[in-house]
Structure 1
Amino acid sequence: MLESWRWFGPQDPVTLSHARQAGAHGIVTALHHLYDGRVWTPDDIAERMALVRNAGMVWSVCESIPVNSAIKLRNENWRRYVDAWKQSLANLGKGGVPVVCYNFMPVVDWTRTNLLYPTPVGGLALRFDMIDFIAYDAFVLKRPGAEAGYEGALVEAARKRLEGMSEHDVETLERNIIAGLPGGEDSYTRETIRRHITSFDDLSDDDMRSNLVEFLKEVVPVAVENNVRLAIHPDDPPFSLFGLPRVVSKTEDLDVLLAAVDHTANGITLCAGSYGSRHGNDVVAIADRFAERIHFAHLRNVSKEPDGSFIESEHLAGDVNMVSLISVLRREERRRAASGRTDSVIPMRPDHGHLLIDDQTKKVNPGYSCIGRLKGLAELRGVIAAVDQLDVQAA
């Protein structure tokens, strides 16, 4: 596997040098300063590529070209934005970027309610608390119909939770949910997110799925022509937020999307933490079922709770059996190599990481501090080495 590291560009407090010292060989990055729907030019891409190469690494994955809401809604501006997306994709391929990760989440990207949740050993983790989210959705944002979309007991728990919150607590919760996390496309105020949610009112799950399939029909041929592998990221968390449709959350969703445009270039990002956040998802089984279409792996872990809440665990703890998952991925790499596929090495990165030691005193991107990810990458590297040794002995 190609050990990679997410980097948010020259403004990232965790530098390329830090990534290299952590043992990464690949860099996962995007032109985050150009997230307004414009075409990423060959010069833009070459400049970023040179920074990565000069640091002694390769640009292994673009994460992500943002998919504008007009594409998800397939409204009157759809053609303008999809054409720009296709041109950026072509330019990335011509510039030497082999994999493009993207997502199709409406309005909000990856979402957490607490960015500094204390762990038993003194670290700080990311957490999604369902009761906090309902409290915000139903009683702060006051989205029409929100209460009816949740179980009554959860709504009452949320009401009581909000009563115990200070104004500062509510402001922090709102900022965590709607102000935008690293790599996300949009940042909102309370009024702007209300309007944006409303724009999706008439869109069903089937409509959203159909719009995604139409998008794939447009972009997969461009990926094939330019030697790029597309890797759709699952919804995070993989269930509806704000009553919005989310259609990349479970096995059945992937069956539909991969069959709709049946080409190897139409693939997935196997995000263990995202798929692992949904009750009923077996991440190892998902990896095994769709192994030949996995073009990128996010290796992180979560511990779920019955009400839908979850905390991001240490990489080798939590609900996902990371040893079994890595065994599936290494087996797929060997199969690809034996069949002559040129993409036999799957890029992976330690996704997120606890805020540890003196990183707690620094300004860092939530989930993307240095020490927590370094620890995660070292642990994953050890699992890979152990899995490989056991396979050698078994042979």
Structure 2
Amino acid sequence: MVVFLKNKIVIGGIFMMVFYQIAMIGIFMYGYSAVPKNLPDLTVAIVSEDEQTGAKMVEQLKEQLPFHINTALSLEQAKTELENRNVHLIVHIPQNFTQQLSQPGEQAQLDFFMNDSNPSTTSSAMQSVADQISSKMVAQIQTQSFEGLLQNMQLPEDQAKQMVEGVMTKVTPNMVVTNPKPAGMHNQMAPMFLTMAGYVGAMIYSMISVGALQQMKGQLGKWKAFFSLQGLNALLALIVPLVGLTIYFSIHGYGAETFLKVWMVHSLELFTAISFTSIFCMLAGQVGMLLNMPLLLSQSIAGGAMMPQEMMPGLFKVISYISPMFYTIQLDYNLLFGGGQTSKYLLGLALIGVGALLINTLIHQFKGVKTTTEENTPAAQPQFM
């Protein structure tokens, strides 16, 4: 046992076990502390077309709801923002809301619009908010101020009171869910699982391929070896995603067109992830894994599959802007379930890939070429410690 404890490889393995615990627990405890603490950072749009009761409701909701409230949008504008995930719930008070309340035998409809193509925390929170708003609306309508409103409509006081007592059954919530996800947790988590599978594979491959590059550039030449590797990376990025996507689409098919689009997205993701994770391997060899691993764990939060960008703690929000996983997950949401700003996410993913490739090119430029003798010396062998 003592012999093994003195072995550098075993010591490196022990270090990795301890390092992984520190990185994972530290990152996850900090990242997931945002739920439900940061729920108030979500945005609710209130669109009132009723100039009587609606105006009073808007003021009361602004005081009571612990969210960012936007009342400046028309219904069509709010729907666009909902599709783009900039708004997380729309509360719509129709133009004839007061009239329906005052008419015997009629029900007043309160509309709620929710985009289901979102992380589960967003969908469940907004569903809960809609239920709470419906209950509060009924209570608010029974207040003395609303009773006075009915009296101003030239109704007798006794009749006004009867109408207020009967309003419990007059307000009906109408939940309109856009971009619904197919049933099953595997569909809810598909964007994260498909993206993470590609990213983890790319991270492991980049460590191995960069090691091979250091060996081959002495034989092929510095730049021929580098560009040959990039060509191989592009070919693998096109072929490898077919494995995971075929498994998922065989379980829940979305059609050939969707398959083709998702395939192209994950091919771009894989090439970007290889270039992105290669940066640290190019700089530090196998030790670069110590930097890639925390970055992977951070992207499991910053990727936006568990919580929207608005809820993320500051560090993870910053990481999301340079995260290949974030853009790929948002694209998967759009392609599999529906959503807006697809071109924005595609551009973001492509820019990260181009930027990472340029950084790798610069690192390669300033790294020398080792001779075969140097590569075979003990000092040249990769070490963790």
User: Structures share a fold, TM > 0.5?
Assistant: no
- From the two aligned structures, give the one with the greater helix fraction: 2
- From the two aligned structures, give the one with the greater strand fraction: 1
Instruction: Give the TM-score of the pair, scaled to structure 2.
Output: 0.21
Higher gyration radius (CA): 2
